[in-house]
Amino acid sequence: MSEPKVFLLPDLGEGLTEAELVNWLVAVGDEIRVDQPIAEVETAKSMVEVPSPYAGTVAVLHGEPGQTLDVGKPLISVMPVGSVGGAKTSASSPAAVAAEAYREEEKAGSGNVLIGYGTPGGHGVARRTRSPKRAAGTSVVEPVAESASGVSAAEKAADDLVLLRTRVPGKLGAVISPLVRRMARDHGVDLGELQGSGASGLIMRRDVEAVIKPAPVVARPAVVPAAPAPASDTDARTGLGISGRTAVRGVRKAVAANMSRSRSEIPEATVWVDVDATALVEMRAVLKKADPHNTPGLLAYIARFVTAGLKKFPELNTRIVTTEDAAGGTMQEIVAFDGVNLGFAAQTDRGLMVPSVRNADKLSARELDAEIRRLTAVVREGKATPAELGSGTFTLNNYGVFGVDGSAAIINHPEAGILGVGRIIDKPWVVNGELAVRKVTELTLTFDHRVCDGGTAGGFLRYVADAIENPGSVLADM
């Protein structure tokens, strides 16, 4: 009787470790085909449909809608086509299941790609790990021995399976196994800062071990189990009734973690300036009258000024990374970029998202406007890819749409700066010595004080402000 094939939840993004099961698209007993969508899951990055790499009959659905599932854990069990008997109620060990799944995927992969997930069938080249064929009648016993690193053959096969499923297009260095991720997480190692020593930049176990410093062993005092909290709808600290509880997960969990990391790691400073945006508003009004359907929005023009400003003040288009020095210790470096990936904050039903316009410095205001609109629609539909959400080098935040004038924004880690634009409103302004009513906005720049000082930050902010106040002359030079 054939064993069910168990499909493990793949890494749906760059190092994501969990996903929320939103909805099953199949039921137990259904006949499914290779690459048929079987479930909708939501990660901190996007909402995606997960396709099945196997064809057959659905035997077990491992999870209920609303449940958070860990990457690398069983998602669905499928009885192969033509198998005899039903699915077993008891599952094999996760390592054995992964090893079997890995062997099966060597035979025929789905070829489907899901945000970096894919099996190598048909047109790809699968890595072969089987032993050479033996002569007929020869009995061969293959021992399952522990390797020198303490990892069994089955666990190594499980690693290999997940390695196949965690490829990120254009960034093979992001391919990491669950064991490597767990080791890095337990020791506080940022995998995003590592350069993999494996083939094509693959992050290996030894890369993580190289940056782990042995910590002194401290005897822990005995822990007395806490008494279970009494079932009550009253908050013990305030004495107020509890009206509801909301789990911090998905996008909110990712935002919380990123903001906390930004505040704990980046010594930020903020500068701001009021700007007379009358000339920019009037220029756009003239253009819109001439071409009502193809005129960029004000944010696109400001984005164009920002990318030009970052070329003049490239210190703000950088990030701090920690690397290994020649003596085996660690050192920090300021990494500069040849180009600008301009992120912009977009409010969605799933929370705040920051997609980025790649190579924004090479685009015109009209091209920036089109890309901003496209990415806004993509993130609101929950279909943005990790590359679209995690590749920014500087962020532009238009919080004026919320009706506020200013904000000391938190830097989108690991970037070095974020520029905020407040609402544009009528204010009294002195023009040529006389009081007038002008369209005024506030620009706020929060920057990483490690990469530059106030002079650079102030110079960049003043450049963008001058461009808004005199858009015609600035655009003529771009």
Residues involved in catalysis: 449
Q: What is the DSSP string of 116-132?
A: TEE--TTTS-PPP-PPP
What angle (nearest 5°) sits at the alpha carbon of residue 224, between those of residues 220 and 230? Answer: 140
Amino acid at 84: V
For the record, the structure tokens of 204 come out as: 């290996």
Give the alpha-carbon dihedral of 196, 201, 203, 206, to 10 degrees.
Answer: -50
Burial class (CB in 10 A: 0-12, 13-18, 19+), 434: exposed
Distance from C-alpha of 469 to C-alpha of 467, rounded to nearest angstrom = 5
Distance from C-alpha of 176 to C-alpha of 265, rounded to nearest angstrom = 25
The answer to whether 395 touches 415, Cβ cutoff 8 Å, is yes
Q: What is the DSSP string of 279-347?
A: HHHHHHHHHHHH-TTSPPPHHHHHHHHHHHHHHHSGGGSEEEEEEE-TTS-EEEEEEE-SS--EEE-EE
The answer to whether 397 touches 421, Cβ cutoff 8 Å, is yes
* Residue 324, beta-bridge partner list: 330
